[in-house]
Amino acid sequence: SRTSQAITQGVADVFTKRKLDALTLEELEDVLLRADLGVGAATRITEAVGKARYERDIEPEEVREILAREVERVLAPVAEELVVDDSKTPFIILVVGVNGSGKTTTIAKLTAKWTGEGKTVVLAAGDTFRAAAVEQLKVWGARLGAEVVSGAEGADPAALAFDAIKCAKEQGADILLMDTAGRLQNRAELMAELEKIVRVMKKADAEAPHAVLLVLDATVGQNALQQVDVFERVAGVTGLVMTKLDGTARGGILVAIAETYGLPIHFIGVGESADDLEPFAARDFARAIAGLEETSEAES
Amino acid sequence: MFESLSDKLSGIFDKLTRRGALSEADVNEALREIRRALLEADVALDVVRSFTDKVRDRAVGAGVIKSVTPGQMVVKIVNDVLIETLGEDAEPIDLVAAPPLAIMMVGLQGAGKTTTTAKIAKRLKERHGKRTLMASLDVKRPAAQEQLAVLGRQVEVDTLPIVPGQTPVQIAKRAMEAARLQGYDVVLLDTAGRTHIDEPLMAEMAEIKTSSKPHEILLVADALTGQDAVNLAQNFDERVGLTGIVLTRMDGDGRGGAALSMRYVTGKPIKLIGVGEKMDALDEFSPTRIANRILGMGDIVALVEKA
Ligand SMILES: Nc1nc2c(ncn2[C@@H]2O[C@H](COP(=O)(O)OP(=O)(O)OP(=O)(O)O)[C@@H](O)[C@H]2O)c(=O)[nH]1
Ligand SMILES: Nc1nc2c(ncn2[C@@H]2O[C@H](COP(=O)(O)OP(=O)(O)OP(=O)(O)O)[C@@H](O)[C@H]2O)c(=O)[nH]1
Ligand SMILES: [Mg+2]
Ligand SMILES: [Mg+2]
């Protein structure tokens, strides 16, 4: 993946056969910082790598392996599939996140995945605020063969959520995906609105929402930690999706998030099409951060 | 996390009883904390590095005035260098060119291009009395053209009629021609989001530039961007030659270090900042404000300035 390209370079430059000394470790930490791990996580991982105290000369490839293993150790416990419980009809998923992170597109990708498996999916156009947000979801719904429940622009998204759950139940749909307007987590009134959406959903179905997905943009830096913190508290986030990993951003903040919050990471987005969704794989992600995937590709 | 930078610095400098000039050792210890603070604010690592070098040069040997602590003095120096790097004065959008003057908006997916396009159109109309035409060249994202049309109606600025099936370059040409024929002063070209390593889309963007010869090419970027800020700003600048940057989502609680990174690597001014989703949520860029945010130490700076 492209995630690893610059990093591969960095690691290769740094580790042309040297002892894993203090200076080398510091440079290794830089490599992690450039991937957005943040100071805390980068320091901890570097320390873990350094603990092994290698006295002999060590090949760059080997350093990468060690680095990948340490990153994977953090990510492996949170790489969890999103399980759709068939006994819930519909299985209700609320999708939340800051503006422009990729919520609506991720909903389209999930819809494509599940309709492809023969499930019926209903979409709720819960972004009643942004210009043409409803139209955007409708275009996807029409393309993918999913019904879209929508209200008027400026309508109360909580009321729409209630209606959508009723509608999906009447139709015996398997899955209901609810889109929401983008909101920055420090905007109290918008977070209160989100809290209300969750509250009203429970009136239509006491167990709803069965899953709450927070969509994070891979280019975002340290602020992602605050996003997770507040959205988890307000909306009860059950899992994460990271989008835009097809760019050069490496999404290393997920390592810090995994350390701090331990929330499951379900999927990654790698493009703008409906099929550009992949399950989150800790090993691949970690190896990409360590610059290993690129090497094996180049060799093959 | 950041709020403690001041404490950490005082801790370091408390050990010093003498006043006089700052020694290299004192400054180096302080710079370790400052480096950390800048990284936590999402300033790109290489920018942090050359930035701290600059601060070191300035700080070593600097005299400490009686009424402030050495820690406060260093913070003041850091702040000064920050503001210098960010560009001291606000640079507005340049409207001095023969009409119709084109302004092209570029950036990553979801950065805020379409929203910012409409905000700028509103401002040009209200503050500068410009007759403006907006055109969406985004034929990719579902309902992207419709989004701009809705915003156009909201701010009462014309949008180019949508003709399905045209390429972005064709739409750009049609917009410029319509503007010439109908006497518009400014044409705002809203382009589709693109990752800066997507070669076909980057080539398309360069082609749009060639055909519409924009007077301003503004990179719209998220203020919450992390380390990738340098790569994206550099790549967009290399491909089309930016004239300025607009930072969106400054209403968030991000530290905004990307502002410093992008300004530093491109040398291009930050012209405007987006501070909300509403159409009037667009402000002039203020280096002081962003410096305070990145450092989180406006109070100390004010204190030293008064001393
Ligand atoms: N390259 C890339 N682009 C993506 C990905 N996911 C979404 N996008 C693009 O990002 C932009 C924003 O996506 P949306 O799905 O509209 O984001 P949103 O979170 O719903 O945005 P708001 O509703 O405005 O808050 C669009 O141009 C998408 O095509 C991804 O994985 N990779
Ligand atoms: N809070 C906040 N939201 C903003 C700001 N600017 C834009 N947005 C929101 O960010 C989201 C994406 O904005 P768009 O204008 O659609 O972004 P874009 O760059 O045109 O997206 P694509 O065309 O898909 O690449 C929307 O939800 C906007 O309302 C801002 O300054 N603050
Ligand atoms: Mg959306
Ligand atoms: Mg757009």
Q: Which of A220, A253, A260, A270 to mutate to test the interface with B (most CBs of B within 10 A)?
A: A220
Q: In the predicted model, is pLDDT for residue B184 greater than 60?
A: yes
Using CA atoms in the order B12, B17, B19, B20, what is the torsion angle rounded to 10 degrees? -100
Which CA distances in Å does A284 have to A29, A268, A279, B266? 20, 11, 11, 33
Asked if A2 lies within 8 A of B197 by C-beta distance, the reply is yes
* Residue to substitute in A216, A272, A280 for testing ligand 1 pocket (most ligand atoms within 8 angstroms of CB): A272
Q: Which residues of B233-255 are buried (b: 16+ CB within 10 A; e: fewer)?
A: bbebbebbebbbbbbbbbbbbbb
The protein residue whose alpha carbon is closest to atom 27 in ligand 1 is: B109
Neighbour tally for A69: CB within 10 Å? 15
Question: Which positions ≥6 away from A87 have C-beta within 8 Å?
Answer: none
Percent of chain A with pLDDT over 70: 88
Residue B14: the pLDDT is 64
Q: What is the DSSP code (8-state) at residue A273? A: S
A56 burial class (0-12, 13-18, 19+ CB within 10 angstroms)? Answer: exposed
Residue B297: the pLDDT is 66
The protein residue whose alpha carbon is closest to atom 11 in ligand 1 is: B110
A130-176 per-position pLDDT tens digit = 999 999 999 999 999 999 999 987 899 999 999 999 999 999 999 99
Q: Return residues 101-120 of A near B (CB < 8 Å).
A: 101-102
Given the cut 0.90, state whether the ipTM is greater than it: yes
Residue B168: the pLDDT is 98
| Bridge partners for B221 per DSSP | B247
Asked if B110 lies within 8 A of A33 by C-beta distance, the reply is no
Q: Check pocket membership of A276 for ligand 1, CB cut-off 6 A.
A: yes
Q: Return residues 95-114 of B near A (CB < 8 Å).
A: 108-112, 114
Per-residue three-class SS string for chain B: CCCCHHHHHHHHHHCCCCCCECCHHHHHHHHHHHHHHHHHCCCCHHHHHHHHHHHHHHHCCCECCCCCCHHHHHHHHHHHHHHHHHCCCCCCCCCCCCCCEEEEEECCCCCCHHHHHHHHHHHHHHHHCCCEEEEECCCCCCCHHHHHHHHHHHHCCEECCCCCCCCHHHHHHHHHHHHHHHCCCEEEEECCCCCCCCHHHHHHHHHHHHHHCCCEEEEEEECCECCCHHHHHHHHHHHHCCCEEEEECCCCCCCCHHHHHHHHHHCCCEEEEECCCCCCCEEECCHHHHHHHHHCCHHHHHHHHHC
B19-66 per-position pLDDT tens digit = 567 788 878 888 888 898 899 999 999 999 999 999 999 988 877 776
Helix (H, G, I), strand (E, B) or coil at A265: strand
Going by pLDDT thresholds of 50, 70 and 90, the confidence category of residue A295 is very low
- Rounded to the nearest angstrom, the distance between the alpha carbon of B249 and the centre of ligand 2 is 8
Range B136-162 average pLDDT: 98
Percent of chain B with pLDDT over 70: 89
Among candidates B143, B147, B227 on the partner chain, residue whose Cβ is nearest the Cβ of A221: B227
Nearest CA in chain A to B147: A132
Higher pLDDT, A25 or B182: B182
* Tokens read off for A223: 């602020």
Asked if B143 lies within 8 A of A36 by C-beta distance, the reply is no
Going by pLDDT thresholds of 50, 70 and 90, the confidence category of residue A292 is confident
Lowest mean pLDDT among A60-64, A163-167, B189-193, B253-257: A60-64
Residue B1: the pLDDT is 38
Residue A2: the pLDDT is 42
Does residue B10 contact residue B303 with C-beta atoms inside 8 Å?
A: no
The protein residue whose alpha carbon is closest to atom 4 in ligand 2 is: B277
Q: What is the DSSP code (8-state) at residue A18? A: B
Q: Return residues 141-170 of B near A (CB < 8 Å).
A: 141-144, 146-151, 154
Q: Give chain B positions within 8 Å (CB) of A131.
A: 114, 147-148, 150-151, 154
* Cα(A43)–Cα(A33) distance, integer angstroms: 9
User: Closest by alpha carbon to B45, among A245, A49, A285, A222?
Assistant: A222
Q: Can you point out the beta strands (E) in A134-188?
A: 147-149, 175-178
Residue B299: the pLDDT is 63
Question: For chain A, what is the mean pLDDT?
Answer: 90
Residue A94: the pLDDT is 98
Nearest-CA distance B35 → chain A (Å): 10
The protein residue whose alpha carbon is closest to atom 14 in ligand 2 is: B112
Asked if A217 lies within 8 A of B222 by C-beta distance, the reply is yes
User: Closest by alpha carbon to A31, among A50, A8, A52?
Assistant: A8
The protein residue whose alpha carbon is closest to atom 29 in ligand 2 is: B277
Residue B33: the pLDDT is 85
Nearest CA in chain A to B276: A184
Residue A96: the pLDDT is 98
A69-125 per-position pLDDT tens digit = 999 999 999 999 999 999 999 999 999 999 999 999 999 999 999 999 999 999 999
| Single-letter residue type at B294 | I
Going by pLDDT thresholds of 50, 70 and 90, the confidence category of residue A12 is low
In degrees and rounded to multiples of 5, residue A82 shows phi and psi of -85, 115
Q: Check pocket membership of A103 for ligand 1, CB cut-off 6 A.
A: yes
- Rounded to the nearest angstrom, the distance between the alpha carbon of B256 and the centre of ligand 1 is 21
Q: Look up tokens 């080997």; give the residue.
A: A62
Question: Which positions ≥6 away from A283 have C-beta within 8 Å?
Answer: A68, A72, A76
